[in-house]
């Protein structure tokens, strides 16, 4: 072969090599292979059963089906997928689809039940409480693939608020109108009923506020609080009043005749709630007593006391000190003094013999209350 021919052949081979390299680089890469299914476990079970699928090239799975019914799934690597049997699935092969193709199992998965598994209740906590209590219910099959709990009832009364936390846990709020009885949970798979009863209790009433804070007999007072349903008694300072239960949180009551300043109470069959503040009954006549003590040189002292404890008729009220001669004459006021906040008073008067007494005069307050008149016993004094 001539030298020219050899050179031509070399150039031709070089061109072929370059074209081959360019074609190789330009060609799209296709490293992934079609998936395969080698086995799965378990081989049978009801809807909701978690099945582990083994094979190759499963990493990029886009779909898993049981006899054509799509299931949710989790890819655990190149060789493993887990998927629960979906609602509606029937006995048949399992398929896994990736961008490279679809693999179908050579054996079938046997669906033993096409409906959701029946729920069970194993326990709940607490076992008692009033309406509004949050109860944790424990059991099985409260939710699963394609189904969840549809109803929770307390002795037949539907709970309007409940949360399915997991397949084994529900939190539910005891509904208004519920009574003591068993708890039930309903799913598409059936209804489970607790073996134990939940006891619905009623809390004793509480008083949070009332309005107005004061007024005479006959005043209508609005009392706010909780658990007023079934109220049997409302009292003002211990005196029973007429009342209307407007709701479980509101009562209107009329200040009764004979009521005195004091706390308001609301009583139900469960117990009694007492207000923190006192209701001030105005326009009342408050009976009082006044005492007198005499000491040498002549010191007078004593105390004004209000029978019903109405402090305004004891604090800062006037007291007259009166003298009557020993032999003849009439009572004359020789000193006017005001009491301290405690109701006590004290002062010096001219040191003269005679009979003495103290008089708490009638006082009408701006509230309309009347502080009754009172006179002490008579005391004789000789210098």
Task: Write the DSSP assignment of 235-295 as a string of letters.
Answer: EETTEE--EEEEETTEEEEEPPTT--SEEEEEEETTEEEEEEEEEEE-S-EE-EEE--EEE
pTM listed for this prediction: 0.40
DSSP calls for 157-173: EEPS-EEEEETTEEEEE
pLDDT tens readout for residues 322-360: 999 988 889 999 999 999 999 999 999 999 999 999 999
**CATH architecture, domain defined by 285-381:** Sandwich (2.60)
Is 36-111 a CATH 2.60.40.10 domain? yes
- Which residues, 6 or more positions from 135, have their beta carbon under 8 angstroms from its beta carbon? 124, 125, 126, 129, 171, 172, 173, 174, 183, 198
pLDDT tens readout for residues 145-154: 668 899 999 9
pLDDT at 184 over 60: yes
CA-to-CA distance for 10 and 58, rounded, in angstroms? 47
CA-to-CA distance for 103 and 97, rounded, in angstroms? 6
pLDDT at 295 over 80: yes
Q: CB of 177 within 8 A of CB of 160?
A: no
120-200 CATH, one of 3.40.50.300, 3.40.630.30, 3.30.70.260, 2.60.40.10: 2.60.40.10
Fold adopted by 206-281: Immunoglobulin-like (2.60.40)
Domain ranges in the chain are: 36-111, 120-200, 206-281, 285-381
Confidence class for position 230, pLDDT limits 50, 70, 90: confident
CA-to-CA distance for 209 and 277, rounded, in angstroms? 8
β-sheet bridge partners, residue 274: 265
pLDDT at 282 over 50: yes
């Amino acid at each position: 072969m001539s030298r020219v021919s050899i050179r031509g052949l070399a150039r031709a081979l070089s061109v072929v090599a370059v074209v081959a390299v360019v074609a190789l680089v330009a060609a799209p890469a296709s490293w992934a292979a079609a998936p395969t299914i080698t086995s799965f476990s378990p081989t049978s079970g009801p809807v909701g059963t978690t099945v582990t699928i083994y094979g190759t090239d499963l990493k990029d799975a886009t779909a898993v089906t049981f006899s054509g019914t799509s299931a949710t799934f989790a890819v655990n690597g190149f060789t493993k997928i887990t998927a629960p049997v979906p609602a509606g699935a029937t006995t048949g092969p399992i398929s896994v689809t990736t961008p490279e193709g679809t693999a179908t199992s050579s054996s079938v998965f046997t669906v033993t039940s096409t409906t959701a598994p029946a729920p069970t209740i194993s326990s709940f906590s607490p076992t008692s409480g009033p309406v509004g209590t949050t109860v944790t219910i424990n059991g099985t099959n409260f939710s699963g693939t394609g189904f969840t709990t549809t109803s929770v009832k307390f002795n037949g009364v539907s709970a309007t608020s409940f949360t399915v936390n997991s397949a084994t846990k529900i939190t539910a709020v005891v509904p208004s109108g519920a009574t003591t009885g068993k708890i039930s949970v309903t799913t598409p798979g059936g209804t489970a009923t607790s073996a134990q009863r939940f006891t619905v209790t009623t809390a004793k009433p509480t008083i949070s506020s009332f309005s107005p804070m004061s007024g005479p007999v006959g005043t209508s007072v609005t009392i706010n609080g909780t658990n007023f349903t079934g109220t049997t008694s409302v009292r003002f300072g211990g005196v029973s009043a007429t009342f209307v239960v407007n709701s479980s949180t509101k009562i209107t009551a009329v200040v009764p005749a004979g009521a005195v300043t004091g706390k308001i109470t609301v009583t139900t069959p469960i117990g009694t709630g007492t207000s923190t503040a006192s209701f001030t009954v105005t326009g009342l006549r408050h009976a009082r007593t006044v005492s007198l003590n005499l000491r040498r040189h002549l010191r007078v002292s004593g105390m004004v006391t209000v029978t019903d404890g109405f402090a305004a008729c004891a604090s800062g009220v006037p007291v007259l000190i009166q003298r009557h001669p020993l032999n003849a004459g009439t009572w004359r006021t020789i000193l006017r003094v005001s009491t301290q906040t405690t109701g006590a008073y004290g002062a010096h008067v001219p040191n003269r013999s005679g009979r003495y007494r103290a008089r708490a005069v009638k006082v009408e307050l701006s509230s309309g209350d009347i502080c009754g008149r009172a006179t002490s016993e008579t005391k004789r004094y000789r210098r």
